[in-house]
Structure 1
Amino acid sequence: MEENFREIHIGSMIRQCVADRGISFSRIKKVFKVQESDVQFIYEAKSMETELMLKWSKLLEYDLFRLYSQHLILYAPPVSASDKDSRLFPVKEKNIYTKEMIDFIIETLDTGKKTKKQVLEEYRIPKTTLHKWLAKYK
Structure 2
Amino acid sequence: MIYDIKNIHMGDLITQRIKEYNIDNNRICKFIKCTDEELTKILSQKSIESDLILRFSILLEYDFFRVYSNYLILYAPPAKVNNSNAQSSLPQFRKKLYTQEIISFILDLIDSGKKSKKEVMDEYKIPKTTLYKWIGKYKNGFH
1:68 has 2:90 as partner: no
Q: Equivalents in 2 of 1:93, 1:51: separation in Å?
A: 24
Q: Which residue of 2 aligns with 1:106?
A: 107
Is the 1:14–1:43 contact (alpha carbons within 8 Å) kept by the matching residues of 2?
yes
Q: Which residue of 2 aligns with 1:35?
A: 35
Q: Equivalents in 2 of 1:126, 1:85: separation in Å?
A: 25
Q: Equivalents in 1 of 2:58, 2:4: separation in Å?
A: 22
Is the 1:3–1:104 contact (alpha carbons within 8 Å) kept by the matching residues of 2?
no
Q: Equivalents in 1 of 2:34, 2:48: separation in Å?
A: 16
Is the 2:74–2:124 contact (alpha carbons within 8 Å) kept by the matching residues of 1?
yes
Query: Aligned-pair distance for 1:57?
Result: 0.5
Q: Equivalents in 2 of 1:20, 1:133: separation in Å?
A: 30
Kindly, what percent of the aligned residue pairs are identical? 46
Relative to its length, the structure with more helix (as a share) is: 1
**Higher RCO structure (Cα 8 Å, ≥6 apart):** 1
Give the TM-score taking structure 2 as reference length: 0.80
Q: Which residue of 2 aligns with 1:136?
A: 137
Q: How many residues align?
A: 136
Give the TM-score taking structure 1 as reference length: 0.82
Q: Equivalents in 1 of 2:112, 2:100: separation in Å?
A: 18
Q: Which residue of 1 aligns with 2:26?
A: 26
SS at the partner of 2:97? coil
Q: Equivalents in 2 of 1:50, 1:31: separation in Å?
A: 15
Aligned AA for 1:132?
A: K
Is the 1:8–1:46 contact (alpha carbons within 8 Å) kept by the matching residues of 2?
yes
Where does the alignment leave 5 or more consecutive residues of structure 2 unmatched?
none
1:69 to 1:26, Cα distance in 2 relative to 1, 3 A: same
SS at the partner of 2:102? helix
Is the 2:14–2:43 contact (alpha carbons within 8 Å) kept by the matching residues of 1?
yes
1:44 to 1:122, Cα distance in 2 relative to 1, 3 A: same
